[in-house]
Structures are given as structure tokens and as C-alpha cells.
Amino acid sequence: MLIGGRTAVRGGSGDSASGSPVRFRWSRRRGALALGSVAALAMGIVGCTSIITGTATVDTSAAPAYRTSVSKSLSASAATSSSRESQRQQSLTTQAISGACGTFRTTSEDAVAATNNWVDAYNKGGDTGGTSGPAVDALNRSADAVAGAITDAMPQGMRDTFNSYIAAARSVADAIATHAAISVYNSRKDQLNQIKGQGFEQCRPFP
């Protein structure tokens, strides 16, 4: 969400409706991603062979118990394999969501900085020509990057929020590029702030 701070005002009372763009607010939680690895150790048994003499006999009384033991062993092995596959899929899902959230955080921060530079230039009454282009580009780049980061592994609610962010970022970029009324810019900025906040909250478990 675009970050905030004190809003400089060029004339007037300085509210959104009267003519000065309001800075974005920024609230960012930084997290460290810990990567762990698990090494599997394969062990081999080396022994000696010997020739056994005599006639093999079958203990028919032990056969049912043996079959039961084998069946339980196979079931346990299948359950373990299924559990490992489930854990692997969960790990891949978590990685995908973490990557998307990382893209969302980083690119939106860039958009925040560039847009607030434009707001500062406008409110100081200076030439905004050198700041409007970078702001528009940063917002559109963020929208493009977030769009490319969305995957089917993400929860539907998170995908919806990211798609809303994309539309809102492009809308703010359009307001700046087309020199829309400041009231229009501030309205679109408020919407972007709200959606961005939702995205950050949903990404909180995925540093």
C-alpha cells in the first residue's frame, strides 16, 4: 500500500477534495526466509554367503500370520509414500505463494517510492515532468510483475486480491499519466491503499 507521512500542500486547505494529492502510506513487515535441507542416507548391508544343506519345509501354521504381516507392511509403506508426496506438494505450494508475495511486496514498494516522489513535486509547486513518468512506469511494472506471479497454487482469495491490486495500480498510473483531477487521483489512491493492505495481510504467513 502506498506509504504515508506528512502531506505537503500547495495552496488551499490540503484535503483530497480541494486539490493536493495525498501520499501513500506504507506498512511493511519484513521476514527472513529460512531454507532447510534434508539429506537422505542410503545404507547398504554387505555380508557373506553360505550354502545351506537340507530339505526345505513349509510351516503352514505360520503362513496366515506372515501374510498379515506383509500386508500391514505394504499398507504402512503406501501410507508413508502418500504422506511424503503430500508434504512435497505442500512445500511446492508454499514456495509458490512466498515467491508471489515477495514480488508483490518488492514491486509495490518501488511503486510507492516513485509515486510519492511525484506527489512531493506536485505539492511543492514544482515541475512534475521528471517524476510523473517514473511513477507511471513503476505502477505498471508492479502490476505486470504481480500478474506474472499469480499461480493456481494460491488460495482463491489471494488471487482475487492480487487481481484487484493489478487493476488499482493501473488505475492510479492512468490518473497520473492523463493528468486527471486530483480528487480522482486521491480516490483511486485510497482504493489502491485498501487493496494493498489486504494483500499484505494475506501474505503475512508467507515471508
The residue written with cell numbers 505537503 in the block is 8
In this prediction, residue 66 carries a pLDDT of: 57
Q: Is the CB of residue 203 less than 8 Å from the CB of residue 101?
A: yes
Which cell numbers in the block locate residue 152? 493456481
In this prediction, residue 14 carries a pLDDT of: 41
pTM: 0.62
Please tell me the total number of residues recorded for the chain in this structure.
207
In this prediction, residue 203 carries a pLDDT of: 94
Q: Is the CB of residue 174 less than 8 Å from the CB of residue 192?
A: no
In this prediction, residue 29 carries a pLDDT of: 38
Distance CA 10, CA 158 (A): 38
The list of the chain residues with pLDDT below 70 reads: 1-81
Which cell numbers in the block locate residue 200? 499484505
In this prediction, residue 20 carries a pLDDT of: 63
In this prediction, residue 108 carries a pLDDT of: 95
Q: Is the CB of residue 100 less than 8 Å from the CB of residue 150?
A: yes
